[in-house]
Structure 1
Amino acid sequence: MPISRRALAAAVTALVLPLSACGSGGGGGGSTDASGKVEGDITFQTWNLRANFRDYFDGLIGDFEKKYPGTHVKWVDQPAEGYADKISADAAGGTLPDVVNVSPDLVAPLAKAGLAMDLDKAAGKYKGEYLPGAWASHQVPGMSGTYAFPWYLNTGPMFYNKALFKKAGLDPEQPPKTYDQLFTDAMRMARTSGGKVATLANIPTIEDFGRYGASLMDKDGTGFTFNDAKGVELLTKYKELYDAKGLDAQALNATPESAGKEFLTQAVAMNPGSALDLDNFKKQAPSLYKNIGITDQITNTGHVNMYVMGVMVNSRTKHTPAAVAFAHYVTDAEHQMSFAKKVAIFPSTAGSLDDPYFTEEDGTDETRVRIAAAKSLKNAVNYTPVLFSDQMKTALRNEVGKALQGKQSPKAALDNAVTACDRLLKQQG
Structure 2
Amino acid sequence: MRTSSHWKRLAVAAVAAVTLAGCGLGDPNAPEDAGGAGGAGGGEVTGRVSLQTWALKPKFTAYMEGVIDAFEKKHPGVEVEWLDQPGDGYSEKVLSQAAGGTLPDVVNLPPDFALPLVKQKMLLDVAGADPELEADYVEGGTAAYRFGGHDGTYGYPWYLNTDVNYWNSELLTRYGLDPKKPPATLDELIAAARTVKEKSGGEVYLMSRKPGLMDFANAGVKLMSDDGKSFTFNTPEAAALLDTYRGAFKEGLLPKDVLTETYAGNTKLFSSGTAAWTTAGGNYITSLATDNPSLAPKVVSSPAMGTPPLYVQGLSVSRATKNRATALALARWVANAENQAAFAHLTSIFPSTKASASDSFFSKSDGTNAGDAKVTAFTSLATAKVLEPVQANEAIKTVVNQQIALALNGQAGSKEALDTAVERADQLLKD
TM-score in terms of structure 2 length: 0.90
Partner of 1:4: none
In 2, are the aligned partners of 1:14 and 1:105 still within 8 Å (CA)? Answer: no
- CA distance in 1 between counterparts of 2:185 and 2:263 reads 22
1:177 aligns with 2:170: no
Partner of 1:230: 237
Which of 337, 343, 358 matches 2:341? Answer: 337
| SS of 1:392 mapped into structure 2 | helix
Deviations 1:322-351 (A, max 9, x none): 111111111111111111111110001013
Partner letter of residue 424 of structure 2? A
- CA distance in 1 between counterparts of 2:209 and 2:261 reads 6
1:134 aligns with 2:141: yes
Which of 116, 121, 124 matches 1:114? Answer: 121
- CA distance in 1 between counterparts of 2:96 and 2:84 reads 15
Range with greater deviation from structure 2 (377-386 or 188-197): 188-197
How do 1:30-429 and structure 2 match up within 5 A? 30-32=27-29, 33=31, 34-253=41-260, 258-274=265-281, 277-279=284-286, 282=289, 288-299=295-306, 303-427=307-431
In 2, are the aligned partners of 1:201 and 1:250 still within 8 Å (CA)? Answer: no
In 2, are the aligned partners of 1:199 and 1:246 still within 8 Å (CA)? Answer: yes
In 1, are the aligned partners of 2:163 and 2:282 still within 8 Å (CA)? Answer: no
- CA distance in 1 between counterparts of 2:192 and 2:415 reads 25
- CA distance in 2 between counterparts of 1:40 and 1:184 reads 63
Post-superposition offset of 1:254: 6.8
- CA distance in 2 between counterparts of 1:186 and 1:351 reads 40
C-alpha change, 1:288 and 1:340, in structure 2 (3 Å) is closer
Range with greater deviation from structure 2 (304-313 or 223-232): 223-232
Range with greater deviation from structure 2 (371-380 or 101-110): 371-380
Partner of 1:12: 5
Partner of 2:38: none
Flag structure 2 segments of 5+ consecutive residues without an equivalent: 32-40
| SS of 2:4 mapped into structure 1 | coil
In 2, are the aligned partners of 1:214 and 1:229 still within 8 Å (CA)? Answer: no
| SS of 2:203 mapped into structure 1 | coil
Flag structure 1 segments of 5+ consecutive residues without an equivalent: 1-7
- CA distance in 2 between counterparts of 1:374 and 1:364 reads 15
TM-score in terms of structure 1 length: 0.91
C-alpha change, 1:62 and 1:285, in structure 2 (3 Å) is closer
- CA distance in 1 between counterparts of 2:144 and 2:263 reads 24
Deviations 1:142-186 (A, max 9, x none): 111111111100113211122333344333221111222222322
CA RMSD, aligned part only? 2.3
Aligned length: 416
- CA distance in 2 between counterparts of 1:9 and 1:256 reads 19
- What is the identity percentage for the equivalent residue pairs of Structure 1 and Structure 2? 35
C-alpha change, 1:30 and 1:223, in structure 2 (3 Å) is same
Partner letter of residue 238 of structure 2? G
